[in-house]
Structure 1
Amino acid sequence: MMKSLTLGASVLSLIPLLLGAQSTRPARISGTVFDSTMSAPLGQATVDAVDANDPLRLWTTTTDAKGEFTFDALPPGRYAVAVSHPRLDSLGIRQLSRGVALRAGDRERVRLGVPSAPTLIGQVCGDSIVGQRLGYVRGVLRDADRAPLAVSGTVRLHWLELSITEGGIGRQIASVEARADDSGRFTACGVPAEGVLQLRAWSGGDSTGVLELSVPYNGILLRDLYVGRGRTATVAWRDSVPLTTPESAADTAAVEVRVRRGDGTLRGTTRTGEGTAVSDVRVSVWGTGLGVRTTAEGQFFLNDLPLGSHTVDVRAIGYLPTRQIVDVLPGDSGRIEFNLDRMARLDTIRIMATREQILERRLAEFELNRKTRGLGRFIPPEALERHPPLRVADMFRTIPGLRVVPAAGGDAVVMRGQSFGQWCAPELWIDGVRTVTNMGLDVLVNAQDVLAAEVYNSGAAVPAQLAGFTGCGAIVLHTGMRERARR
């Protein structure tokens, strides 16, 4: 009996020790980080578990490609789980965190998510634009010479707005200006979701080129911009090829064009999606008048470029044209690769509809003008079907008296003014509406949507209802969805 009591007392004496061991059993936190604006996990994010009672004690890990993270062997206590990532900073999210209380042996799973795009747009720009398919452009303005140093400056954006009225489709140019503060941060609200923008930024005498950017479907576009030094040069231009010899400078057919040049370089390669090099691809930089063709290995090299962010235009026969923003920095800007997609080719088709049925009422005015206005040149639908233009300006390259010249926002078309030795910008009419021409032609209208065109390449040839105040000629575009011929 005494022996049994002694054993019981020994067991009782072990209970505090057992309870103490249980209270120190390690706990665990696991979870995921999801970016709602991208509808994808947020990989390579830094996750900290911070002891709420002692902020100097923290545990750190990184999310994998699936956004997963795990903290093992945490002592019991209260924690703040906080996430940091460059994208969060770009979105303007100051903190993404959640509190967790752990007891010994707990296995807690948490989910942290970037707020949805509508929520962020409301927080950044105000609730008034939520639900209107509008968003914002946000980024940091940086100095190309001293990258990644941020600088203050101005960012201006333009885009095309379409309106449908009883008189047809109207086109207006909308714009917004944003200020980059001393930290270089700027936010431009009210841009159209899934819209195409033309943008340019300045800081003092430095600037970017004119950049063409597409706003994602969620309405949030994040892009840092580099402003850089450059110089203005005047070159003689004819048939889209610069003239460099002394004799050509006196050629009355040449057009004097102001372009930007500098000390930057750009090199790269053009390939198909399968990785095959593509040769004889035209690579040019907007606003510089500089362009080259790729070698047999698909390689190209451009120098004399102004520093900063610029739009590179890439074209090749049989491939879809593409544009990309590149940052030209001092020295060698590194190698950039363009992936080209082949154009879809249609099988041989047999036309089953008459010409009048295909043109319908949309081209009735074009047909009337072609028959009655002998001073104009007319590009009919069949000509565009035989030789589909990659860009709108491509339609005018072979018309006498017209020149396609480099411009800040892409190609521009000029023609002779009232004085034979001068060149001027023609009036531009799209579907019966006079249109401003301070943006690239391809922003105003898609080349694949042009059904026909009229060209009046002198002031005297312009019909009275199309004449402007400059005495220059006029270009008239008729647009719409191209008819598909039936098999």
Structure 2
Amino acid sequence: MAVPRSTHPTASRTARRPLVALAASLLALAPSLALGQAKPRPGTLGGTARPTGPVARPATPARTAPPPLPADSARPLPVGGIVMDSVAGAPLAGATVQLAAEADRTITHTAVSDSTGRWRIPAVKPGRYLAGFFHPTLDALGIEPPVHLVQIMPDTAARLDLGTPGPLAVRAKVCPQAPSDRAVLLGSVGDADDGDPIPEAKIVITWSEMRISEEGVRNVKRRLPVRVRPDGGYLVCDLPADVDLVANAEAPKRRGGLIELHLPPRSLTRRDFALGDSTSVITVVLPDTAAAREGRLQQPITVARGNAGLTGTVRTRDGRPLQGARVQLWGSDVMGTTTEAGNFALSGLPAGTYALEVRAIGYAPKRVPVTLAARRTGSVGVVLDERLNTLQSVVVQADRTKLQKDFTGFSERAKRGMGGRFLTEEDLAKRSPIVMTDALRTTPGISVVPNGTGFGYAIQGRGGCAPDVWVDGMRVFDGATDLDQLVRPTDVAGVEIYNGAAAVPAQFMGAGGGGGCGVVAIWTKRGR
């Protein structure tokens, strides 16, 4: 998966030690480290950018280093370059770049990289300098800032590209004992608005795995909490690879959302989290209007809102804007639709890291992590690049008289309550679902989760087990996983949901189903 780069606006506060002091200790211990090599390598001096002009070259390793150039040998000239996050493979914004003269380390020059990772110092005298940078990324990786000894030549503008060590080098340093078939995850947790570390936070990672025992094969849900260090960083060295993971950050009196991760074997992935405070995230309890109308016990729906905003564009793989795509923030009831130009704008969102879900007919749904802040409007670009194959039409024939009788039973059970929840055609229309799992997403007792195929969703009952699914009075095996392929929301006249076996009507207890994990019964318009 593509690894997002850090967006915390705290780079200027991370210069824990002056560069000159750090460089002095490195030079005293290992002069060859400071001298570097003439040809930059990806992930160290030179990053991954290709120089376009004369480069501020590291001094040539030799037994006797050339003497420094006289300070007045040439006029000052500009020096600039790009700072790269070699773990994320992206430019590093907000990095504090420093140059310190080797002969007199009280002579320093400082610049901060912009959103594209570029930095520039307008006037630097030719000579030999110690060069390095500071950034929260280095703190999260648990490594010291790389320092290089470079020589700036007279009468030529110089380019100096810097970067963090590459993923393999960082993995070997921070998790030397990690099994080769496992994945490493690291990052930081900070405040959504000012980026300050949240040391009392923790990261929670969950996934499902098959467990074989004397009782047989079971699908077990694993939950791994990881405490965050005082500097806000965290590190997990032993995660399953090629498995759908769900991760989120937690802290007292703060809120954030769930995001999905899929980590390749031997990988090192950086994922930062932000949490909103109690004033930037508002918990809203939505009324259970269907239950109120039917005179049943209401089960309120809790969602998060706030003062954050998000704008963005949805495009296809070939760059065409996608009109009519639906966008929604997981954990909130705020949603929108893209315009003819593929643009959307959402407001009233909670602050923190959440997953933005984008859906469009004919495309696999896509979920991308976004970090939202109450004091600024975020932006994101989403590309829907996976087309879905159109399924062949399926014709189902049944006795219309029997379907009419069964649908009448649905109406009678809905009027009496019967221990379940009931969604009418009007209820479904208000939720504007694209697929059936959309209609059940905010239903208490039902969770909508990735189905493990890379796209699409499954439904789970309480405890994480799959409820029995019935369509027009017939049980559908694996219906909880294939629900979106079974029926379209526009063809549904009613849905009844039972969260436990005690409330399930007798007619839904047969055909191999016991209803122990609940029942979702769907009635199509054919039976009316």
Instruction: Say whether the fold is shared (TM-score over 0.5).
Output: yes
- Give the match for residue 272 of structure 1: 315
Matched, 1:172 2:220: yes
Alpha carbons of 1:251 and 1:316: their partners in 2 closer, same or farther (altered >3 Å)? farther
- Give the match for residue 41 of structure 2: none
- Give the match for residue 187 of structure 1: 235
1:160 aligned to which of 181, 184, 207: 207
Does the CA contact (< 8 Å) of 2:210 and 2:217 recur in 1?
A: yes
Kindly state the Cα deviation for residue 212 of structure 1 after the two structures are TM-superposed.
2.6
- Give the match for residue 301 of structure 2: 258
Alpha carbons of 1:406 and 1:308: their partners in 2 closer, same or farther (altered >3 Å)? farther
Kindly state the Cα deviation for residue 208 of structure 1 after the two structures are TM-superposed.
0.7
Look up the SS of the partner of 2:206 in the other structure. Answer: strand
For structure 2, list consecutive stretches of 5 or more residues without a partner in the other structure: 1-66, 394-433, 451-459, 468-477, 487-495, 521-528
Does the CA contact (< 8 Å) of 1:287 and 1:406 recur in 2?
A: no
Does the CA contact (< 8 Å) of 1:26 and 1:104 recur in 2?
A: yes
- Give the match for residue 194 of structure 2: 147
Kindly state the Cα deviation for residue 233 of structure 1 after the two structures are TM-superposed.
3.7
Q: TM-score, normalised by structure 1?
A: 0.56
How far apart are the structure 1 equivalents of 2:274 and 2:69? Answer: 57
Query: Within 5 A, what are the aligned runs for 1:221-370?
Result: 221-229=270-278, 230-236=281-287, 243=289, 249-251=292-294, 256-273=299-316, 276-296=320-340, 298-330=342-374, 333-341=377-385, 343-345=387-389
Q: Provide, for residues 353-374 of structure 1, a one-character-per-residue CA deviation record: whole Å limited to 9, x for no partner.
A: xxxxxxxxxxxxxxxxxxxxxx
Does the CA contact (< 8 Å) of 1:118 and 1:130 recur in 2?
A: no
Structure 2 residue identity aligned to 1:428: C
Structure 2 residue identity aligned to 1:260: V
- Give the match for residue 50 of structure 1: 100
- Give the match for residue 114 of structure 1: 164
How far apart are the structure 1 equivalents of 2:109 and 2:311? Answer: 43
Does the CA contact (< 8 Å) of 1:207 and 1:228 recur in 2?
A: yes
Does the CA contact (< 8 Å) of 1:287 and 1:408 recur in 2?
A: no
Does the CA contact (< 8 Å) of 1:269 and 1:338 recur in 2?
A: yes
Structure 1 residue identity aligned to 2:170: L
Kindly state the Cα deviation for residue 155 of structure 1 after the two structures are TM-superposed.
2.3
Look up the SS of the partner of 1:135 in the other structure. Answer: strand
Kindly state the Cα deviation for residue 200 of structure 1 after the two structures are TM-superposed.
2.6
Structure 2 residue identity aligned to 1:251: E
Alpha carbons of 1:86 and 1:53: their partners in 2 closer, same or farther (altered >3 Å)? same
How far apart are the structure 1 equivalents of 2:372 and 2:222? Answer: 28
Alpha carbons of 1:445 and 1:169: their partners in 2 closer, same or farther (altered >3 Å)? farther
Kindly state the Cα deviation for residue 96 of structure 1 after the two structures are TM-superposed.
0.2
How far apart are the structure 2 equivalents of 1:103 and 1:279? Answer: 54
Kindly state the Cα deviation for residue 210 of structure 1 after the two structures are TM-superposed.
2.4
Does the CA contact (< 8 Å) of 1:266 and 1:333 recur in 2?
A: yes
Q: Which moved more, 1:287-296 or 1:220-229?
A: 287-296
Look up the SS of the partner of 1:199 in the other structure. Answer: strand
Does the CA contact (< 8 Å) of 2:437 and 2:483 recur in 1?
A: no
Give the strand-richer structure, 1 or 2: 1
Does the CA contact (< 8 Å) of 2:86 and 2:166 recur in 1?
A: yes
How far apart are the structure 1 equivalents of 2:224 and 2:98? Answer: 39
Does the CA contact (< 8 Å) of 1:137 and 1:220 recur in 2?
A: yes
Look up the SS of the partner of 1:288 in the other structure. Answer: coil
- Give the match for residue 523 of structure 2: none
Alpha carbons of 1:289 and 1:195: their partners in 2 closer, same or farther (altered >3 Å)? same
How far apart are the structure 2 equivalents of 1:33 and 1:95? Answer: 12
How far apart are the structure 2 equivalents of 1:170 and 1:317? Answer: 34
- Give the match for residue 138 of structure 2: 88
Alpha carbons of 1:295 and 1:176: their partners in 2 closer, same or farther (altered >3 Å)? same
How far apart are the structure 1 equivalents of 2:311 and 2:81? Answer: 41
Does the CA contact (< 8 Å) of 1:270 and 1:340 recur in 2?
A: no
Does the CA contact (< 8 Å) of 1:36 and 1:114 recur in 2?
A: yes
Query: Within 5 A, what are the aligned runs for 1:44-83?
Result: 48-58=98-108, 79-83=129-133
How far apart are the structure 2 equivalents of 1:130 and 1:298? Answer: 44
Kindly state the Cα deviation for residue 141 of structure 1 after the two structures are TM-superposed.
2.0
How far apart are the structure 1 equivalents of 2:190 and 2:285? Answer: 28
Structure 2 residue identity aligned to 1:318: G
Alpha carbons of 1:149 and 1:75: their partners in 2 closer, same or farther (altered >3 Å)? closer
2:257 aligned to which of 181, 185, 209: 209
Alpha carbons of 1:103 and 1:190: their partners in 2 closer, same or farther (altered >3 Å)? same
How far apart are the structure 1 equivalents of 2:262 and 2:68? Answer: 61
Kindly state the Cα deviation for residue 321 of structure 1 after the two structures are TM-superposed.
1.0
Does the CA contact (< 8 Å) of 1:137 and 1:221 recur in 2?
A: yes
How far apart are the structure 2 equivalents of 1:103 and 1:192? Answer: 50
Look up the SS of the partner of 2:177 in the other structure. Answer: helix
Look up the SS of the partner of 1:123 in the other structure. Answer: helix
- Give the match for residue 180 of structure 2: 131
Q: Provide, for residues 221-255 of structure 1, a one-character-per-residue CA deviation record: whole Å limited to 9, x for no partner.
A: 23131233344443345xxxxx48xxx72325896
How far apart are the structure 1 equivalents of 2:363 and 2:302? Answer: 28
How far apart are the structure 1 equivalents of 2:276 and 2:234? Answer: 14
Look up the SS of the partner of 2:147 in the other structure. Answer: strand
Look up the SS of the partner of 2:173 in the other structure. Answer: helix
How far apart are the structure 1 equivalents of 2:381 and 2:484? Answer: 26
How far apart are the structure 2 equivalents of 1:103 and 1:221? Answer: 37
How far apart are the structure 1 equivalents of 2:166 and 2:310? Answer: 38
Does the CA contact (< 8 Å) of 1:206 and 1:228 recur in 2?
A: yes
Alpha carbons of 1:170 and 1:307: their partners in 2 closer, same or farther (altered >3 Å)? same
Structure 2 residue identity aligned to 1:278: L
Kindly state the Cα deviation for residue 285 of structure 1 after the two structures are TM-superposed.
2.2
Kindly state the Cα deviation for residue 186 of structure 1 after the two structures are TM-superposed.
3.2
Kindly state the Cα deviation for residue 344 of structure 1 after the two structures are TM-superposed.
5.0
Q: Provide, for residues 262-316 of structure 1, a one-character-per-residue CA deviation record: whole Å limited to 9, x for no partner.
A: 3324343443245544333322222233434445554545444433222222212
For structure 1, list consecutive stretches of 5 or more residues without a partner in the other structure: 1-18, 238-242, 350-392, 414-422, 431-440, 476-487
Alpha carbons of 1:463 and 1:66: their partners in 2 closer, same or farther (altered >3 Å)? same
How far apart are the structure 2 equivalents of 1:225 and 1:408? Answer: 28
Look up the SS of the partner of 1:131 in the other structure. Answer: coil
